[in-house]
With several copies, the nearest count.
Chain A
Amino acid sequence: MANSVEIKNLDLNFGAVKVLKQLNLDIAEGEFLVLLGSSGCGKSTLLNCIAGLLDVSDGQIFIKGENVTWAEPSDRGIGMVFQSYALYPQMTVRGNLSFGLKNAKVPKPEIAKRIARAADVLQIEPLLDRKPGALSGGQRQRVAIGRALVRDVDVFLFDEPLSNLDAKLRTDLRVELKRLHQQLKNTMIYVTHDQVEAMTLADRISIMKDGMIEQLDTPERIYAKPCNKYVADFIGSPAMNLFTGQLSDTRFGCNGFNLDVSGYEFSDSGLRDGAAWLGIRPEHIMTGDAAHGASYSGTAEIDIVEPMGSDTLVWVNFAGQSVRVRTIGQSGLKSGNTLTIGFDAARLHLFDKKTELRL
């Protein structure tokens, strides 16, 4: 599969501040790539560079094999959807959709055809003659997508397109977006700091931190095999529990427990000794009877119980720290009681203490 977007050694500085540092990224044709990272890590900046809205300081950008590093945004074959929709408030929806095409001097009948098609795909025909002010948030977002759609672009860029919407709408539009991608098969680059969006939408997720890419992989692998402690901690909600301790061959010991990790799938690095972090996701901690068969099991005092309907989040005091445990809904657990918890070696994560890389 050819690469749709290639980014080579990209640097971007705002004055003295280096926001993107020697960044490399290849995105395949038709891929849905999500850029995920905490606020201020440079996601929007990267997207703006790809769109040509920011001048890169160094490096090159290729779209469909063509060097577009210095091309105008409108000549790059990209469409962009913004968090605040950025619809032109004084134009009707139709005007919004046709603005770019008129600028590109596309003939009238062609414009009408494309708008009709986009309106059909996005189901916004009845809205075409309204102004953005008279649309709901979700409708506006759809029009914003339509604006990219009509321009028949190769690459769609989304900058947190759903974060201004309320939770319910966000879920619905997320699914619509996914369906749209399955239908259009365009390359899509999607910025978000919402993990759920990233996990559900992405073919591949690129986790960014401080202008660099920490891990670029499928959602499943990022969840199951985070390549370092940062990614492990970042992905998953509630976050992974982390314990610091000492690894010696097949055992991990720390202040409070000690367990056999021979069931752990070590990476190729070969390291099996020394100070290390042990991580386990709240949903992988077994409780009650199930815990007894685990690699390690012990008891902990329940601190706080947070019922969330479908499941319950329990905060227990264990090994000198507060540990999150996710268990079934209506668990009947009470603050102050004791809970038996168990760790399964196959579902642990081990990271080197110094490099913080996965062992």
Chain B
Amino acid sequence: MTVTTTKGPRGPKPKKAFSRANIFLYGTLIMVSMYYLLPLYVMIVTSLKGMPEIRMGNVFGPPMDITFEPWVKAWSEACTGINCDGLSRGFGNSVRILIPSVLLSIIIASVNGYALSNWKFKGSEVFFTILIIGAFIPYQTMLYPIVILLREIGLMGSIGGLVLVHTIFGMPILTLLFRNYFASMPEELFKAARVDGAGFWQIYFQIMLPMALPIFVVAIILQVTGIWNDFLFGVIYTKPSTYPMTVQLNNIVNSVQGIKEYNVNMAATLLTGLVPLLIYFASGKLFVRGIAAGAVKG
């Protein structure tokens, strides 16, 4: 075939790097990003300023004298009542609450989700529906009955009690995630395993679990942030020696002595948010993917 080169456009269509659509698109994104970044910026900047500089106004100006004093104070010196050990104590408690709560809630929810999608039994859907409706019940409704429940099983005020509460309230949404995820796995795999003589737990541990990594990531992220950020349960179902970090944060921020030490408050706030923030920044992509796998269907 002979090819005669012809006039006219040839090759790739020229793209303007700054087309109007692009300017609009990136412009919007950058503007919106500023809205989202503003609080973080303010918190970081303020936490690095000294009190005199703050009093001069302008929360948005960069610090003239960078000082880490507020961070040190927030971590280990800020006072609540007569305890002046800052957030440091709450951090340990938060970790001690977080790890068992996350593990327990995810283990239970994953088994539930697995049972619900692969081993349906009479009534399983009913219980699940109740559970899901439970996810939307305002916590306040449950506060009092749970106080009584914890009293009856003797876990009131202990870390164990709080772990239990977190497990209970994490269960609906996690179970939903796991159920949807397991239901989206090919049913034939489950059938094949049954023909191979595997039982409930064997299928769970040897077949399902190794395949459920993405959804475990989502569950872990959701639970870590949820539990770490929890204030209501932390304050009601624990006592000062087991207060999580958020409660300490609230105590520090609300213990106004003279004028508010904004820099310390911001540093404390940042310190408290550090763990979930790190997790989010580290796992953005996995999270989106997991959400797609477990939450969005149809």
Q: Within 8 Å by CB, do A and B touch in the complex?
A: yes
Of the listed stretches B2-10, B142-150, B156-164, chain A binds B2-10
Chain B contact residues, majority secondary structure? loop
Of the listed stretches A47-55, A258-266, A329-337, chain B binds A47-55
Q: How far is the CB of A125 from chain B (nearest CB, A)?
A: 21
Question: Which residue from chain A places its CB closest to the CB of B213 in the assembled complex?
Answer: A90
B57 contacts the other chain (CB 8 A): no
Given contacts A51-B191, A57-B12, A69-B8, A26 and B1 within 8 Å (CB-CB):
yes
How long is the Cα–Cα vector from A82 to B199 in the complex, in angstroms? Answer: 19
A83 x B188 contact (CB < 8 A): yes
Given contacts A24-B1, A74-B194, A99-B206, A58 and B6 within 8 Å (CB-CB):
no
How many of chain A's residues touch chain B, expressed as a range? 35 or more
B197 x A88 contact (CB < 8 A): no
How long is the Cα–Cα vector from A89 to B208 in the complex, in angstroms? Answer: 10
Given contacts A67-B6, A70-B13, A90-B211, A99 and B196 within 8 Å (CB-CB):
yes
A73 contacts the other chain (CB 8 A): yes
How long is the Cα–Cα vector from A99 to B193 in the complex, in angstroms? Answer: 8
B196 x A147 contact (CB < 8 A): yes
A230 contacts the other chain (CB 8 A): no
B258 contacts the other chain (CB 8 A): no
Give the residues in chain B near A159, CB-CB below 8 Å: 188
A90 x B210 contact (CB < 8 A): yes
Question: Which residue from chain B places its CB closest to the CB of A75 in the assembled complex?
Answer: B197
A253 contacts the other chain (CB 8 A): no
How long is the Cα–Cα vector from A166 to B103 in the complex, in angstroms? Answer: 45
B10 x A82 contact (CB < 8 A): no
Give the residues in chain A near B12, CB-CB below 8 Å: 55-58
Query: Which residues 205-247 of A have a CB within 8 angstroms of B?
Result: none
Chain A contacts to B: CB under 8 angstroms:
8-9, 24, 26, 48, 51-53, 55-60, 62, 67, 69-70, 72-75, 78-80, 82-84, 86-91, 99-100, 103-104, 147, 151, 159
Q: Which 5 A-B pairs have the closest CB atoms?
A: A74-B197, A67-B8, A100-B196, A86-B188, A90-B210
Chain B contacts to A: CB under 8 angstroms:
1, 3, 5-14, 186, 188-189, 191-199, 202, 206-207, 210-211
Given A88-B207, A103-B196, list of 9 further CB < 8 A pairs? A53-B195, A56-B11, A67-B8, A72-B194, A73-B191, A73-B195, A86-B188, A89-B210, A99-B206
